[in-house]
Amino acid sequence: MSYDGLRSLLPKNDLLGFAVLALLLVVVLPLSLDIFRLNLVGKYLTYAFVALGLVLCWGYGGILSLGQGVFFGLGGYAMAMFLKLEASSPENTAIQSTPGIPDFMDWNQITELPWFWEPFNSLIFTVLAIVIIPSIFAYIIGVAMFKRRVGGVYFAIITQAVAAILTILIIGQQGYTGGVNGITDLRTLKGWDIRTDEAKYAFYFLCVFMLFVCLFIAQYVRKSKLGRLLVAMREMEDRVRFSGYDVSNFKIFVFCLGSAFAAIGGAMFTLQVGFMSPTFVGIVPSIEMVIFCAVGGRLSILGAVYGTLVVNWAKTTFSESFPELWLFAMGALFIAVVMAFPNGLAGLYNKYAAHHVEKLLGKKKGQSPDAKATVGTQGVAHERQ
């Protein structure tokens, strides 16, 4: 991409925001947190993928999906299936009636690997499946809904129903899916132990890297004509349609994109936490993810990341300090957010801090005009010094 292209993709303010986030995630947190806390941050960040997808779907496109847990779950389960097959080698499972199949299948009297598990022996297939299967699923839902001009509240309700159905399916078919327990006890990735501290560091950085890839894609969509069309559709769908655009195709696209983001988050979750269970697929986690997005500010892609981090950090801290009362504290936090700053953290930033930063940036511009030429952490870290 040319320099001008980059400039238009990442204007000054956005560039600063990206750089500060990168600095926080790549330098500050890894240096200041021990591996346990860093692993927790890594886990929180996996939800940020979902929140990011929601910013595009809901904040820009006006499509509120209350079933993003479905895609998070599909991605997570795909990854977990691969890891579970590797952990279920005949040597590891010698104690079972049928060695070589996952333990929960053995408990459920299944004696051979079901056909749809077979392809997950391949890592390449798994990586592709993580993105493609949820996208296809989102495409089917999208076509079925948007082509019929189902939207708004009805769409939200249907996505909830899908989340409920998938949860029931996973729990009911426990011989094939692990049921309520989920897929647990994942050990190695291509022979590499994923439970060690080194692996946790590696997955953290992989997760941050993937998050930035998704952030850049989201930024690209936002800045492109597509992004402006999405906003136009949100504000006045009929006018866009009368201008000759096929509204449903744009909606389907952005819904699929959000789903693919969520699925990548799910896969990263499985890698970092070491298991996957239906508790992430249902209605409650799906709504929680909308809350992360709302706290961050539903129009801000960076806000989504901060919102997720803040809410989850609060959740962990409150529950460690007040194991019996923490839910009330969380409730109070959500009410406070909605009452005090309905546009979330990003709204707060724009209202109070943004013009100070701009002023600062304006001064800096004169002093080091070449600093912005390099995009990324180092360039701005340099500029800030």
Partner 1 sequence: MATMNHASQSGLGGKLPGLVKTLAGAVAGATMAFSAALHAAPATSEVNTTDLAVTDDTVTVGILHSVTGTMAISETGSVQAEKLAIEQINAQGGVLGRQIEYIQEDGASDWPTFAEKSRKLLLNDKVATVFGCWTSASRKAVLPVFEQYNGMLYYPTFYEGLEQSPNVIYTGQEATQQILAGIDWVVEEKGAKSFYLLGSDYIWPRTSNKIARKHIDKLGLKVSGEEYYPLGHTQFNSVINKIKLKKPDVIFASVVGGSNVAFYKQLKAAGIDMTDEKPLVLTISVTEDEILGIGGENIDGAYASMKYFQSLTNQNNQEFVKAFKERWGDDIVIGDVTQAAYLGPWLWKAAVEKAGSFDVDKVREASPGIELTTAPEGYVKIHPNHHLWSKTRIGRAKTDGQYEIVYETDELIEPDPFPEGYQ
What are the structure tokens assigned to 177, written together? 């899916």
How far does CA 23 lie from the centroid of its chain? 20
d(CA 263, CA 131) in angstroms, rounded, equals 6
- Identity of the residue, 164 or 371, whose beta carbon is nearer to partner 1 in the bound complex: 164
Task: Give least dist CB 181 to partner 1, A.
Answer: 4
Interaction of residue 327 with partner 1, rule CB under 8 A: yes
Q: Which of 12-20, 37-45, 56-64, 343-351 is the region at the interface with partner 1 (rule: CB under 8 A)?
A: 37-45
d(CA 201, CA 16) in angstroms, rounded, equals 26
- Identity of the residue, 118 or 197, whose beta carbon is nearer to partner 1 in the bound complex: 197
Other CB atoms within a 10 A radius of the CB of residue 112 amount to 10
Interaction of residue 4 with partner 1, rule CB under 8 A: no
Out of 40, 110, 156, 333, point to the residue binding partner 1 (CB under 8 A).
40
- Identity of the residue, 17 or 179, whose beta carbon is nearer to partner 1 in the bound complex: 179
Q: Which helix (H) or strand (E) holds 147?
A: none
- Identity of the residue, 169 or 353, whose beta carbon is nearer to partner 1 in the bound complex: 169
Q: Which of 137-145, 154-162, 259-267, 269-277 is the region at the interface with partner 1 (rule: CB under 8 A)?
A: 269-277
Q: Which of 20-28, 176-184, 209-217, 228-236 is the region at the interface with partner 1 (rule: CB under 8 A)?
A: 176-184
d(CA 44, CA 273) in angstroms, rounded, equals 11
Interaction of residue 277 with partner 1, rule CB under 8 A: yes
Residue span 88-107 as binding mask against partner 1, x where in contact by CB under 8 A, dash where not: -------x-x------x--x
Task: Give least dist CB 205 to partner 1, A.
Answer: 20
- Identity of the residue, 319 or 350, whose beta carbon is nearer to partner 1 in the bound complex: 319
**All residues at 6 or more sequence positions from 120 whose CB lies less than 8 Å from its CB, including other chains:** 78, 81, 82, 85, 126, 129
d(CA 309, CA 303) in angstroms, rounded, equals 10
Q: Which of residues 183-222 bind partner 1 (CB under 8 A)?
A: 184-187, 195
Interaction of residue 292 with partner 1, rule CB under 8 A: no
Residues touching partner 1, count (CB under 8 A): 38
Interaction of residue 332 with partner 1, rule CB under 8 A: no
User: Using CA of residue 254, residue 256, residue 257, residue 262, what is the dihedral sign?
Assistant: positive
How far CA 28 is from CA of 177, 303, 383, in Å, comes to 39, 18, 17
d(CA 203, CA 207) in angstroms, rounded, equals 6
Q: Which of residues 134-173 bind partner 1 (CB under 8 A)?
A: 168, 171-172
Task: Give least dist CB 312 to partner 1, A.
Answer: 10
Task: Give least dist CB 189 to partner 1, A.
Answer: 14
Q: Which of residues 338-367 bind partner 1 (CB under 8 A)?
A: none
Interaction of residue 324 with partner 1, rule CB under 8 A: yes
d(CA 42, CA 269) in angstroms, rounded, equals 8
Task: Give least dist CB 327 to partner 1, A.
Answer: 5
Interaction of residue 274 with partner 1, rule CB under 8 A: yes
Task: Give, to the nearest 10 degrees, the angle between helix 35-54 and helix 247-273.
Answer: 170
d(CA 80, CA 120) in angstroms, rounded, equals 9
H helices then E strands: how many in the chain?
A: 19, 2
**All residues at 6 or more sequence positions from 247 whose CB lies less than 8 Å from its CB, including other chains:** 146, 233, 237, 240, 241
Task: Give least dist CB 209 to partner 1, A.
Answer: 23
d(CA 21, CA 10) in angstroms, rounded, equals 14
Point out which residues bind partner 1 (CB under 8 A): 34-36, 39-40, 43, 95, 97, 104, 107-109, 168, 171-172, 174, 179-182, 184-187, 195, 273-275, 277, 279-280, 316, 319-320, 323-324, 326-327
